[in-house]
Chains A and B, each alone.
Chain A
Amino acid sequence: MLWFVAPAMVLFGLFVLWPMASAFYYAFTKWDGFTAPVWVGLANFQRAFADSVHLMSYVHVVLYILGTFVFEVSFGLVVAVLLNSDRRGFEFLRGLFFSPVVLSMSAAGVLWAFVLDYRSGLVNALLKAMGAGDLAQPWLSQPTTALIAITIVSGWKYSGFYMVIFFAALRRIPRNIYEAARLDGAGPVRMFFSITLPLLRQNIMVAILLAVTGGFAGFDLFFTMTNGGPFSATEVPATWIMKQAFDQNQLSYGIALTVILTIVVMVVSIVYLRFSERVGVARY
């Protein structure tokens, strides 16, 4: 039996356990990647909790995740309900909404950086063409608009993914429940809140879990659109880790931040799974 699992255990040990253990060690050192590491105890962690940009990066990621609840999960749900029909053309529309999902995140980021460009971007060009040139803004260069712009682009990219999840679930809801409700005089809104939403509860919980864990791992869109700027207004843990580790050659500090991020994501996931188990939508 031991021989049977040995290859898997060796690979797991080499490529998961050993890197994790060594990362944990380097988090307690001062190491720039060029010179030998020097043991500094908890200094990197003390610095992390005094580093205002690092702390704010968690605020930004929470705001981003809340935004994804609106622009990705909720919008995906609404689109799934609206396009839940076998009528001609609806299949094409569902494909259209899903199409951004297959685009690479980096490509989407670069594309939208062009669309939102202050001088030559499509958004500002449209505003000027409509005579609203005063509203033209450097969307990605202002702390007040950069994070919301990224959140909306993220919604454009991923709402189609959630639409597919909800659409598949909607198709499993028996039609006779809606017919009975209609006979009892319920309108579309009442049916949505009294039938659709409760029966999609499990799917919604899964969608929220995906949005939360995906949000904490968010990097490529932030990197390509703003690289954490302007003035760290869109800094999320992953972009800040990259900057510290590689731009500033502080690898050990970057690793310490990664250890913190891993712990935070683990805690959030465990709490969420416990919660979803308690409310009875999932059993693990």
Chain B
Amino acid sequence: MQMFRGVLAGLTLLAMSGTALAVTEIRITHATTGGAEKEVLDQIVADFEAANPDIKVVQIPFDDDTYSDTGLITQLQGNPVPDIYFQWAGYPVARDANAGYAADLTDALKSDGWGDTFVPSVWSAGAGTMVDGKPYLIPASLDVTNTIWYNKTIFAEDGLTPPKTWEEFLALIKVLVEKGETPIIEGNQEFWPFGNWASHIAAKVVPPEEYAAAFEQTGKFNTAGFLKALNHIQELHTIGAFNKDMAGLGADPAMATFIEGAAVMHPIGSWLIGTAKELGDADFDYASFDTPVIDPTHPLKDSVIGTVTGWVVHAKSTHQAEAVRFLKFYTNEANQIKRAEAGSLSPIKGVNEKANLDPQTKQMAEMLATAPAMVPPPDTTYPVPVAEAYYQAAAMVATGEKTPVDALVWLDDTVAVIGKQ
């Protein structure tokens, strides 16, 4: 009997110790697979687990394209669902909220004044983090989705300075062409890299109502405004601004070619900074300038194109409290400083000022802080098939496949076939 009691006591102790060591697993799916940003994410996860031994964080990473094509769609409907997932602000967040995947984070953001730690602009109507006045996306990064990166060494060798107007930009490209350089490298196999820039060019010359109407399918693309935008793109093609293999080159090889110094300029987003840290030589010296002013009378002449990216808590997650705990840790000042120093602009108040930013990230921060307006990329704001069709039409003009007029006719025909989205 005594032996039986001893065994029972032992088993009880074992069960109790098991309870004490019970670990909640939270699953987080995202599209960060490498570079300085991934190193920081891994570090944040490790620090969080050390500070919260009752929570284990499991990362489910996908490369960027796989994540947006099939990775997220299958994860969202899987079992178990990811507790936290990466998302782009705007159209995807609204869709997820309406479909019941995204949790309303109003209460979480009110607790401990968490919501007040973010810069107020991320909670504005145009930021794409809110749906019907309720927050669904915890901003993690402010991304400039297109700026024109340039090789400072080549610019200095040729006595060039960043242009302030479109005419200066064209003149600069002509100089580079005469010197036998590849002025602009584009890897546009997937259409979005140049499409982002082409939509910023359009946003700077097309009347805003006309621009929105076309992408919302309440108006046409074949307008004087869009014709003007595509004419500017044709100017670039005519003077030989782009690499010959633009249409077939991937986005990553194009970025690598720029970082290797084989091309002078590369229009792409602020995420180039993280890749340059990983791939660039120590003496690779680069900076950026925004698309120069094209129409001085246009209300968005000085705008930047960018978006907010961040994290959504799955509405069906059974560990929402733990997920919020992780996100509060992720967005605390110390961790955001680490992320900013790795090249991600922080949406948390004061972080970008306190962090020891590299010159390029600092430039991005200043660009965002001083820009009078931010234009979101069409593929995160409007129906994707319509945005893609515009991207393709712009690419046709950039490579000389179609004239601006023909491209706009093709574009309206294509959007008509797609039907109302």
Contacts and interface: CB of A to CB of B under 8 A. Distances in A.
Interface string A224-268: 001101110000000000000011111000000000000000000
Contacts of B257: 119
B391 to A, nearest CB: 11
A226 B250 CA distance: 9
A50 interface: yes
A21 B120 CA distance: 50
A33 to B, nearest CB: 5
B369 interface: no
Nearest to B70: A246
Given A34-B76, A43-B419, A47-B417, A231 B70 contact: no
Interface of B, helix, strand, loop or mixed by DSSP: helix
A248 B99 contact: no
Interface of A, helix, strand, loop or mixed by DSSP: loop
A147 interface: no
A248 B76 contact: no
Contacts of A250: 385
Interface string B381-399: 0001100100010011001
A138 B401 contact: no
A228 to B, nearest CB: 9
Contact of B73 (A34, A51, A142, A229): A34
Contact of B98 (A35, A47, A140, A246): A35
Interface residues of B, number: 34
Contacts of B392: 231
Interface stretch (B213-221, B241-249, B307-315): B241-249
A153 B76 CA distance: 38
Contact of A119 (B76, B262, B395): B262
A146 B417 CA distance: 26
Interface string B213-240: 0000000000000000000000000000
A141 B244 contact: yes
Contact of A47 (B73, B384, B419): B419
A141 B247 contact: yes
Interface of A: 32-36, 43, 47, 50-52, 117-119, 138, 140-143, 146, 226-227, 229-231, 246-250
20 contacts: A33-B73, A34-B96, A35-B95, A35-B98, A35-B99, A36-B99, A47-B418, A47-B419, A51-B417, A118-B245, A138-B244, A138-B245, A141-B248, A141-B249, A142-B248, A146-B248, A226-B248, A227-B190, A231-B392, A231-B396
Given A118-B243, A138-B244, A141-B246, 13 more contacts: A34-B76, A34-B101, A35-B95, A35-B99, A118-B244, A138-B245, A141-B249, A230-B247, A246-B69, A247-B69, A247-B384, A247-B388, A248-B385
Closest 10 A/B residue pairs (Cβ): A141-B248, A230-B247, A138-B245, A118-B245, A141-B245, A246-B69, A140-B248, A141-B247, A35-B99, A33-B73
